[in-house]
C-alpha cells in the first residue's frame, strides 16, 4: 500500500496546491461560469422558457456540468506541463504505482470540479430553483462521479499530447461541442430532428439527463422525455470504465 496510498495523497494534494497558487487560474475557473450563467440567464429571461420555467433555471444544472467538464479537463493539462518540466519523470522513476498517478489526477480533478460547483451554487437563490435535500445530495454524489469521468477523459487526451496548445484546440473542437450537444445548453425535444439524433448519439447526453433529473428531483421542474435513469447510469459507468482502463493501459505501456 505504501506505493499507492501515500503517493496518491502526495500527488493529489500537490495538484490542489498547484491550482490554488495560480491566482489567475482560480479567478478564471471560478468567474467564467458565473459570467456565462448570468449573461445567458439575463439575456434570454423574457424570450426563452423551457417547460414553463425560465431559461436561467433550466440552464443551471447544465452550467454545473460545464464547470465539472472544464475543471476536470484543465486539471489534466498539468500532465503535459509536468512532462515538459520533467516533474513527471521524477514520479515515473519513483516506486509510486501507476495506478496511484491515475487516482491522484482523478481525485484532484474531481475535488476542483466539486468545489467550483459548490461555489457556483451560491447563485441558487437567484435562479428560482429550490432543490430538495435528497435531490441536492444525490446530484452532488453524481457530480463526483461525473468529475471522475471527465478527469479520465482529460487524462486520455492529455497523456498523448505534447503541447498545451494542442489540448486547447481539442477543447474547442471536441469538448465544447460535446457539451453544447448534450442537452445542457438547449432542450433536446425542441431541436431539429437531425439535431435530436446527434444529441442522442452523444454519450454526454445521458450524463446530462441523469444530472438534470437528480437536480430537479421532487420538484415540478423535473425534466420529461429523458432516458431512464438506469440507462444513463449504465452509459456513464461504462464510459468511466472505458476511459479508466484505457488510461491505465497508457500509463503502464
Asked if 130 interacts with another protein (CB under 8 A), we say: no
If one counts every other C-beta atom within 10 angstroms of the C-beta of residue 188, the result is 20
22 binds another protein (CB under 8 A): yes
Beta carbon of residue 3, minimum distance to another protein (angstroms, whole number): 6
Question: Is position 9 an interface residue for another protein (rule: CB under 8 A)?
Answer: yes
Nearer to another protein, 52 or 95 (CB): 95
Question: Given the rule CB under 8 A, which of 89-97, 167-175, 177-185, 236-244 is the region that contacts another protein?
Answer: 89-97
DSSP secondary structure, 228-245, as one string = -HHHHHHHHHHHHHHHHH
56/109 with CB nearer another protein: 109
Query: Does 27 participate in binding another protein (rule CB under 8 A)?
Result: no
Could you give the CA distance from residue 38 to residue 28 in angstroms, rounded to a whole number?
15
What is the x/- site pattern for another protein, positions 91-120, by CB under 8 A?
A: xxxxxx------------------------
Q: Which of 91, 123 has the CB closer to another protein?
A: 91
Span from 15-23, 52-60, 180-188, 220-228 in contact with another protein (CB under 8 A): 15-23
- Tell me the closest approach of the beta carbon of residue 32 to another protein, in angstroms: 21
Distances (CA, A) of 60 to 18, 88, 208, 228: 29, 37, 12, 21
Dist. CA 213–CA 219, nearest whole Å: 10
Contact yes or no for 210/120 (Cβ under 8 A): no
Instruction: Give yes or no for residue 90 binding another protein (CB under 8 A).
Output: yes
Task: Name the one range near another protein by CB under 8 A: 5-13, 47-55, 139-147, 150-158.
Answer: 5-13
Using rule CB under 8 A, residue 162 touches another protein: no
DSSP assignment of 146-203: HHHHHHHHHHHHHHT-S-HHHHHHHIIIIIHHHHHTTTSSS-GGGS-HHHHHHHHH-H
- If binding is defined by CB under 8 A, does position 49 make contact with another protein? no
By the rule CB under 8 A, 23 interacts with another protein: no
Longest dimension (CA), the chain: 59
Is 21 a binding residue for another protein by CB under 8 A? The answer is: yes
Element (H, E) at 85: helix 55-85
Rg (CA), the chain: 19
Distances (CA, A) of 193 to 124, 143, 197: 33, 29, 6
Is residue 45 close enough to count as binding another protein by CB under 8 A?
A: no
Q: Does residue 24 belong to the site contacting another protein (CB under 8 A)?
A: no
Residues of this chain that interact with another protein (CB under 8 A) are: 2-3, 6-7, 9-11, 13-14, 17-18, 21-22, 85-96
Amino acid at each position: 500500500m505504501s506505493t499507492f496510498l501515500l503517493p496518491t495523497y502526495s500527488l493529489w494534494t500537490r495538484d490542489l496546491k498547484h491550482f490554488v497558487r495560480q491566482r489567475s487560474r482560480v479567478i478564471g475557473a471560478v468567474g467564467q461560469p458565473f459570467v456565462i450563467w448570468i449573461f445567458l440567464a439575463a439575456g434570454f429571461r423574457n424570450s426563452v422558457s423551457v417547460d414553463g420555467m425560465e431559461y436561467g433555471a433550466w440552464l443551471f444544472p447544465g452550467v454545473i456540468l460545464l464547470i465539472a467538464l472544464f475543471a476536470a479537463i484543465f486539471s489534466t493539462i498539468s500532465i503535459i506541463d509536468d512532462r515538459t518540466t520533467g516533474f513527471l519523470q521524477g514520479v515515473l522513476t519513483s516506486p509510486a504505482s501507476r495506478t496511484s498517478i491515475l487516482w491522484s489526477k482523478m481525485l484532484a480533478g474531481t475535488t476542483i470540479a466539486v468545489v467550483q460547483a459548490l461555489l457556483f451554487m451560491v447563485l441558487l437563490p437567484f435562479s428560482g430553483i429550490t432543490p430538495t435535500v435528497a435531490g441536492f445530495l444525490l446530484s452532488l454524489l453524481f457530480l463526483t462521479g461525473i468529475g471522475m469521468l471527465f478527469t479520465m477523459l482529460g487524462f486520455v487526451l492529455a497523456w498523448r499530447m505534447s503541447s498545451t496548445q494542442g489540448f486547447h484546440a481539442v477543447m474547442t473542437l471536441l469538448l465544447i461541442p460535446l457539451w453544447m450537444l448534450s442537452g445542457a445548453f438547449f432542450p433536446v425535444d425542441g431541436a431539429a430532428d437531425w439535431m435530436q439524433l446527434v444529441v442522442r448519439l452523444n454519450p454526454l447526453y445521458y450524463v446530462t439527463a441523469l444530472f438534470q433529473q437528480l437536480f430537479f428531483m421532487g420538484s415540478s421542474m423535473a425534466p420529461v422525455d429523458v432516458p431512464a435513469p438506469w440507462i444513463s447510469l449504465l452509459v456513464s459507468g461504462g464510459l468511466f470504465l472505458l476511459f479508466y482502463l484505457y488510461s491505465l493501459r497508457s500509463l503502464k505501456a
